Chains A and B, each alone.
Chain A
Amino acid sequence: MKIIKKLALGLGVAAAAQMTQAADSGFDLATVNPEADRVALQNYFESRFPQSEISDYVNGIYAVDASSREQWEELEEFPPYEFAVEEGETLFNTPFANGKGYADCFENGGVGIRQNYPYWNKEAGTVKTLEMEINECREANGEKPLKWAKGDIAKISAYMAWTSRDKPINIEIPSDDPRAKAAYLDGKKFFYAKRGQLNLSCANCHVQGANIRIRADLPSPQLGHTSHFPVFRSKWGELGTLHRRYKGCHKDSRSKPLSHQVEVYRNLEFFQSYMNNGLVVNGPGARK
């Protein structure tokens, strides 16, 4: 009985320590704790939307708004991204002029690896995204890089996401390189900093403002963001990459958006994807 009591006390102290850390630190390199951030974010959404399962957050707003979900489920009966995935598969398997292909550039032939992206690349000292490596692969094989926002890059990325469906997101922040944690912190800071003429941070809409109307739209919760990209948006009428969405969102705050794949957007993706650790890849997705 004594042992049980001691164990319970120990667990309680450990849990309290984690909660305390999440509450009063994590804003500089010395104290930032990605795991505490992830737990705090999950707890936040659990208490905001107690009826929603954490695992369902990969479905964005449809995890927390029943009427939007009904429409989306009907849309998913004939997914609008289906043809793009097929085209992506063809593009992925079409050899470059030198006879090599995308499969030669990626681990496991590029199949079932989406859940590990983005990742910290120690040699390059930067965060690498999947789209970035698709283009690096092309350039290394004498091909021109693809445009970042839509078209072939989104289709190839969609096919790669498709092969990774249901795999748990697994973003690692290596402890032996403080630059990785700095990149995570930079992304976190970007997410929570207010900017633009409307003085809005990403968090204003996607944390505090999740499922609260902005005109006719309901912003999705941050938890689960990135899991379903690239995405087919009805507004676009086609597939688009995550950074295309970042630019649009950035612009919505009346900021001048940054360029695709710029360092801070990649760091933002690193931070956001880490928040989704344990959730599953469900890209490509369909959204309004």
Chain B
Amino acid sequence: MKKIITIAAVLALAPTFASAESFQEAFESNRAMYGKNHTFEWNGKNFSTNHEEEVEAAVAATKENALDLIAKAKAKNKEAAKLGFEWKLTGGILKDAQKAADAGEYRKALDLAAQAKYHSRMGIQQHAYAQSNWHLSVPQ
């Protein structure tokens, strides 16, 4: 009898666990619905919808901070390029970020560098996804 109850409980609860939203899914749906600077709850804790690069850019708009983030974005883009997954616009955004920094527009430079770094991180993530999923659209 116990066994039957256990099996029934597992079967009843399975869909709940199976449909539990992952952090990534929760982040992406909240980001899509509310944009940046929104707080959402996941598994009893609060999280921000900001991308990690937006957090990095939310520092004092100084020359040092701007150049530091540009350097990080360039390094990330190099990583993406090495994998053959560099995005088309990233190089141009990096150039614009450098121009803004040279013109003393550090806030603009930080935001552009954050965007370029995000593009690069997505390219790297795309490469990782492609490694294990490229075969999904091969005709069978």
A residues in contact (CB < 8 Å) with B = 22-24, 26-27, 37, 40-41, 43-44, 188-189, 192-197, 199, 201, 203-204, 207-208, 251, 254-258, 264
Contact = CB atoms under 8 A, between A and B. Distances in A.
B4 to A, nearest CB: 36
Contacts of B117: none
Contact of B137 (A22, A24, A40, A208): A208
A112 B119 CA distance: 46
Nearest to B136: A192
Contacts of B40: none
B3 interface: no
Contacts of A194: 126, 129-130, 134
Contacts of B81: 256
A256 B88 contact: yes
Contact of B88 (A22, A193, A254): A254
Query: Would you call the interface of chain B mostly helix, strand, loop, or mixed?
Result: helix
Contacts of A204: 137
Given A197-B89, A197-B119, A254-B88, 20 more contacts: A24-B140, A40-B138, A40-B139, A44-B139, A188-B138, A192-B135, A194-B126, A194-B130, A195-B84, A195-B123, A196-B87, A197-B122, A201-B134, A203-B138, A204-B137, A254-B87, A255-B87, A256-B91, A257-B88, A258-B84
A203 B133 CA distance: 13
B90 interface: yes
B3 to A, nearest CB: 35
B137 to A, nearest CB: 5
B89 A254 contact: yes
Interface of B: 81, 84-91, 119, 122-123, 126, 129-130, 134-140
A194 B85 CA distance: 10
B17 to A, nearest CB: 28
B126 to A, nearest CB: 6
Contact of A193 (B90, B123, B134): B134
Central interface residue in A22, A193, A257, by most chain B CB within 10 Å: A193
Contacts of B86: 255-256
Contact of A264 (B84, B88, B119, B126): B84
Contacts of A257: 88
